[in-house]
Amino acid sequence: MLPAEVLKQARNEILNWHDSGMSIMEMSHRGREFTSVVQKTEADLRELASIPENYKVLFLSGGATSQFSMVPMNLLRKKKNADYINTGIWSKKAIKEAQKYCHVNIAASSEDSGYTYAPTQDQWALDQNAAYVHYTSNETIGGVEFNWTPDLSYSKNNIPLVADMSSNILSRPLDVTKYGLIYAGAQKNIGPAGLTIVIVREDLLGETVQNTPSVFNYKIHADNSSMYNTPPTYAIYITGLVLEWLNKKGGLKEIEKINISKASLLYDLIDTTDFYNCSVEKSDRSRMNVPFTLKNTDLDTEFLKQAQDCGLIQLRGHRAIGGMRASIYNAMPIEGVLALVSFMKEFANNHA
């Protein structure tokens, strides 16, 4: 979901951006007009997330899925092992791709429970010779979120922490210095499909696996200010508008408060009735994606139909696990969650 204010501004500017006589979609990515857009977008992102100067911000294409390969290509640096934390379907996909380049040590996994929790760090069996440690901070399908930041400061070998933050980036304050690399597909929480953001510490750049294509080399993108090839220009523009919107909201501390309020409303309803159920451990529940099931699954179709009639859309759970899923990303107003809670109460009362 995108903020209504952002969509309205994009509508008003789509034919003629800032009296340039062009749409953003028509501009050269190397022209001064678009250069000003991408520079401001990066500056706003750096301010919002407090990104230090020794980190590069890259605007790439290929989706977060491309990063499943680019991370090992760029961060193995002649090592043969990497640690991965397996907490859901997206973690598994990242592991599968990394196994093409190195030995993957599954340092911790919640697969035995059907992915209903995030293993605490004292459960991690890390390899001190690993090139990096990778985890997915929020699993959109299973609704499991790390509501804490892993700490690798004790590591003797300065092992970098890598995070796939595709679905919860900028939903709460972020200490970038804890990470060697963060990547995120923009389409879940900060912009439209097509843009992938990478935040990477400079000292990790420049040593790729043999035969890495140039377009998969972080250093080449960093040296060319994300303009090595044509980036997803319109997606960058929209993301820039969303960052401005987040700043107007008061930044990440304020958006976190709103996100906590929204999630609490929905989980409180689910937990106070036996009509609905969420199997995720309470400490690891996602603020972004709330999966739930109905006690009587025969009512699933009717639930979705009536919800659609009330303007509550895209509530069907992912095909991999079924059930329902409410995605309540940054741009979802609290009024939307209140409407869903009201509908769920009424539906439960009518079908108890």
> Catalytic site residues?
90, 164, 188
Scan for tokens 């309470």, then name that residue.
282
Residue 316 sits at φ, ψ, to 5 deg, of -65, 135
Of residues 333, 331, 336, the one with CA closest to residue 2:
331
CA end-to-end span of the chain: 32
Dist CA 89 CA 330 (whole Å): 22
Dist CA 213 CA 6 (whole Å): 36
Dist CA 4 CA 21 (whole Å): 25
SS percent in the chain: helix, strand, coil, step 5:
40, 15, 40
Q: Which residues contact 239 (CB under 8 A, 6 or more apart)?
A: 41, 186, 190, 191, 192, 195, 197
For 197-207, b/e burial (b = at least 16 CB within 10 A) is: bbbbbeebbee
Asked whether the beta carbons of 227 and 83 are under 8 A apart, the reply is no
- CB neighbours (10 Å) of residue 346? 12
Tokens at 77, concatenated:
């640096």
Question: Which helix (H) or strand (E) segment is 301 a member of?
Answer: helix 300-309
